[in-house]
Amino acid sequence: MRMGLVTVWLTLLLSSVGALFWYNDWVYQLPTPIPAHYKLVSLGTKINLPEKFLSKNEKPVFLHFYNPECACSRFNKRHFQSLVKQYGKDVDFRVVVLTDKKYTVEYIQDKIGLEIPVSFDQSVANTVGVYSTPQAALIDQSQKLYYRGNYNASRYCTEEKSAYARIALAGLLKDQSLPMLSARAMKSYGCTIPVCKN
């Protein structure tokens, strides 16, 4: 009798964990709802970044929109680190924190595992048309929006074929126009800002 109850309990527990995992994965596949006040910023638009965001060496600027409470931002950590490691000599990377909570620069740098500039200026998200985290925006040397969108189609950023941010970085550094990317690259997936609801 006791063994039967344990078996039923374990089956129920494992089923619940599986259902929760499936539900979270399904939610991740849904695009982030577009805010009512959202204003689209088209690729090629001249971006007037605050002075502190501009590259002193006239390099492209890569903006990493991040929220420490966003699970998708946490899943993206290693992928973002690999981009900084691969392209950090040619591109200036910046982190833009989008949250309603207060954090220090040191805390964010520790969370992402990188000592790169961090800003809490949420107006930059509107400037480039970002409304979820994690998102990437790549500004070219002439301060035009070259790419804005997702890092990868995979939740854990493991799909090489859909490494959208990496593809954009490679294309810009070769002076190419943005390669054709799937619609998923430009549609926002992840957490709403400034409060993570997804």
pLDDT at 57: 83
Whether residues 79 and 124 fall in one domain? yes
Domain hosting residue 20, numbered range? 1-30
Query: CA gyration radius for the chain?
Result: 19
Domain membership flag for residue 25: yes
Instruction: Please confirm whether the linkage preceding 134 is cis (ω < 30° from 0).
Output: yes
Whether residues 17 and 65 fall in one domain? no
pLDDT at 1: 66
- How far CA 181 is from CA of 13, 24, 31, 150, 163, in Å, comes to 41, 26, 17, 11, 10
The total number of structural domains that make up the chain: 2
**CA 30 from chain center: how many Å?**
15
Whether residues 7 and 94 fall in one domain? no
Angstrom distance (rounded) from CA 89 to CA 139: 16
Please give the average pLDDT of every successive group of 10 residues along the chain, which has 198 residues: 71 63 54 87 94 85 95 89 96 96 96 96 95 95 95 76 92 91 85 76
Domain membership flag for residue 43: no
Whether residues 105 and 26 fall in one domain? no
pLDDT at 182: 83
Whether residues 130 and 185 fall in one domain? yes
pLDDT at 25: 53
pLDDT at 194: 78
User: Whole-prediction pTM value?
Assistant: 0.84
